[in-house]
């Protein structure tokens, strides 16, 4: 037996055992049992492992291609399925289907067969046998969860609710009014805002419980004045049977909670089934199948976005603390999948952050998951200067952007594309995820180029209200006739003429 050790990772000094081959890290058959035990103990200790994080040096010619590949990796396409997923699909559907085909099959089935199909897929996919009565969380269950939750947790929930409501009220628009005098008459133009009647919210519950998602979706809708809110959550210990999740619903006044998840739950919200009325809009995060289902039903209902894995870009200068930066990168990667990207023009920061990552990952409960996510979807980008760093950030258009600089405002003014922006060394993304006030439901995968984070405004319908009297109608009549003539729409012109005879 020969054991090969890397001297950069192990520092074993035992003079009575080491030989002249020490520098090569080679030990012969003659190692003693005590040394073997020492080696075993050492290799099982929490010694940091080097992280294999992709590094892109924009000063080199290959950087452009690497950056393009990174951007593509951060834009999930939704048609790739693992071998295990392929086998599972064959078991359920009798043939190999892409995720999009699976979602189409499920949504169409729920649309045509209603609650029967919904409960069948819940049994097949979640291994939970529910009935029309047990799929809805009862008022007694919500109240019981509230009693079981700790007073400290409930107080925190209420404080977060108040923070969110305070911010969301501030962004609500006012109705607009324009009055115009024309030909001795009056034109009145208004824009009014009314809340949607009914909204559906998807809350994840597969690997962890997310009461924060309930707050960050339901409270903006409530602030907008939506009277009916229905939450769907998987029938799991982290979802529809989770005390804190249900207690949060009770604390903020959500009365409709259904223990169904996945694409089948999205379809039930979009089309309506027995026991669940159709909604006007579906919001909230979920796995790939939830995201694709929301895309599939869009048009029958509105949706917030088609969300991908969580992501953060940390834009850092020479004032950044590498320990802080590493923690920010890990905090999104631990969602697994999740992405963390560092962009800096201060080269010494790179090695410092890598060392900090190795130390922190070795200590965290989800360190192994975060490490894999960073190695698969993360990167460190060395920009030429601040200008290029800002340009690269805008190209990636991240969900979360943390500007880790002592004076972040000038850099903020250079950035156009980001879902939520966190300024300075003492504003980690976790503050936005949990308590600050803006919703943590944000555009991912580069969609911050055109999409926005969820807000109370997304639950409002806008209508323009137009009123002419006879004199003002006559004042604009000739211009309407001219445009109607040019477009060949003579009935438009006639609808004006008949009123002026």
pLDDT digits (tens, 9 = 90+) for 273-322: 999 999 999 999 988 899 999 999 999 999 998 887 889 999 999 999 99
User: Where are any strands of DSSP class E within 196-344?
Assistant: 198-202, 228-232, 256-258, 281-283, 302-303, 310-316, 338-344
Band the pLDDT of 9: cuts 50, 70, 90: very low
User: Where are any strands of DSSP class E within 217-286?
Assistant: 228-232, 256-258, 281-283
3-state secondary structure of 137: coil
| pLDDT one-digit tens code per residue, 432-450 | 999 999 999 999 888 999 9
Q: Indicate which residues carry an active-site annotation.
A: 399-400
H or E segment and range at residue 190: strand 185-195
User: Would you say residue 145 has pLDDT above 60?
Assistant: yes
Q: What is the mean pLDDT of residues 47-53?
A: 70
Task: Find out whether the peptide bond into 337 is cis, omega within 30 degrees of 0.
Answer: yes
DSSP letter for each residue of 377-432: H-EEEE-SSHHHHHHHHHHH--SEEEEESSS-HHHHTT----SEEEESTT--HHHH
How many CA atoms does the CB half-sphere of 423 hold within 13 Å? 8
Band the pLDDT of 338: cuts 50, 70, 90: confident
C-beta separation of 313 from 338 below 8 A: no
What pLDDT score does 82 carry? 58
Q: How far is 3 from 25, CA to CA, in rounded Å?
A: 8
User: Would you say residue 20 has pLDDT above 70?
Assistant: no
| pLDDT one-digit tens code per residue, 223-262 | 999 999 999 999 999 999 999 999 999 999 999 999 999 9
What pLDDT score does 498 carry? 97
C-beta separation of 340 from 333 below 8 A: yes
User: Would you say residue 155 has pLDDT above 80?
Assistant: yes
Q: Where do the domains of the chain lie, and which CATH numbers do they carry?
A: 3-44 (no CATH), 79-174+193-307 (3.40.50.1980), 308-437 (3.40.50.1980), 469-500 (no CATH)
What pLDDT score does 19 carry? 32
Exposed/middle/buried for 117, CB within 10 Å: 0-12, 13-18, 19+? buried
Closest residue by Cα to residue 56 from 400, 391, 345: 345
What pLDDT score does 389 carry? 94
Q: How far is 465 from 190, CA to CA, in rounded Å?
A: 5
User: Would you say residue 217 has pLDDT above 70?
Assistant: yes
Closest residue by Cα to residue 394 from 375, 418, 374, 370: 418
pLDDT exceeding 70 applies to what percent of the chain? 86
Q: What is the mean pLDDT of residues 102-117?
A: 96
């Amino acid at each position: 037996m020969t054991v090969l050790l890397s001297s950069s990772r192990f520092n074993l000094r035992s003079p009575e055992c080491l030989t002249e081959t020490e520098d090569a890290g080679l030990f012969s058959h003659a190692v003693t049992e005590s040394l073997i035990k020492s080696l075993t103990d050492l290799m099982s200790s929490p010694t940091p492992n080097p992280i294999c994080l992709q590094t892109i040096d924009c000063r080199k010619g290959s950087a452009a291609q690497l950056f393009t590949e990174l951007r593509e990796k951060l834009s999930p396409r939704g048609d790739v399925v693992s071998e295990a997923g392929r086998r599972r699909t064959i078991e359920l559907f009798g043939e190999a289907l892409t995720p999009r085909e699976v979602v189409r099959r499920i949504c169409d089935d729920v649309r045509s067969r209603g609650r029967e199909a919904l409960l069948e897929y819940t049994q097949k996919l979640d291994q939970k046998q529910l009935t029309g009565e047990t799929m809805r969380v009862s008022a007694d269950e919500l109240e019981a969860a509230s009693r079981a939750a700790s007073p400290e947790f409930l107080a925190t929930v209420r404080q977060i609710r108040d923070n969110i409501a305070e911010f969301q009220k501030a962004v609500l628009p006012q109705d607009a009014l324009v009055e115009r005098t024309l030909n001795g008459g009056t034109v009145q133009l208004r824009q009014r805002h009314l809340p949607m009647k009914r909204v559906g919210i998807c809350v994840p519950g597969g690997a962890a419980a997310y009461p924060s998602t309930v707050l960050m979706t339901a409270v903006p809708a409530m602030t907008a004045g939506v009277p009916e809110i229905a939450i769907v959550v998987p029938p799991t210990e982290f979802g529809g049977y989770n005390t804190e999740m249900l207690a949060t619903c009770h604390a903020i006044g959500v009365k409709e909670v259904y223990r169904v998840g996945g694409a089948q739950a999205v379809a039930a919200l979009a089309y309506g089934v027995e026991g669940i009325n159709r909604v006007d809009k579906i919001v909230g995060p979920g796995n790939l199948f939830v995201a694709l289902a929301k895309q599939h039903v869009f048009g029958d209902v509105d949706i917030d976005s088609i969300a991908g894995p969580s992501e953060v870009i940390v834009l850092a200068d020479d004032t950044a603390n590498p320990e802080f930066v590493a923690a920010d990168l890990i905090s999104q990667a631990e969602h697994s999948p999740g992405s963390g990207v560092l962009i800096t023009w201060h080269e010494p920061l790179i090695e410092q952050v890598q060392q900090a990552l190795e130390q922190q990952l070795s200590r965290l409960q989800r360190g192994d998951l975060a490490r894999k996510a960073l190695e698969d979807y993360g990167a460190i980008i060395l920009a030429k200067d601040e200008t290029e760093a800002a340009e690269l950030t805008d190209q990636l258009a991240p969900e979360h952007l943390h500007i880790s600089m002592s004076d972040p405002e000038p850099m903020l003014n250079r950035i156009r594309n980001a879902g939520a922006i966190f300024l300075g060394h003492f504003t980690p993304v976790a503050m936005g995820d949990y308590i600050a006030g803006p919703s943590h439901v944000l555009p991912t995968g580069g969609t911050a180029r055109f999409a926005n984070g969820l807000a109370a405004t997304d639950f409002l319908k806008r209508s323009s209200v137009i009123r002419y009297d006879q004199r003002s109608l006559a004042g604009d009549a000739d211009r309407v006739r001219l445009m109607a003539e040019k477009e060949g729409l003579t009935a438009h012109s006639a609808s004006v003429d008949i009123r002026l005879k």
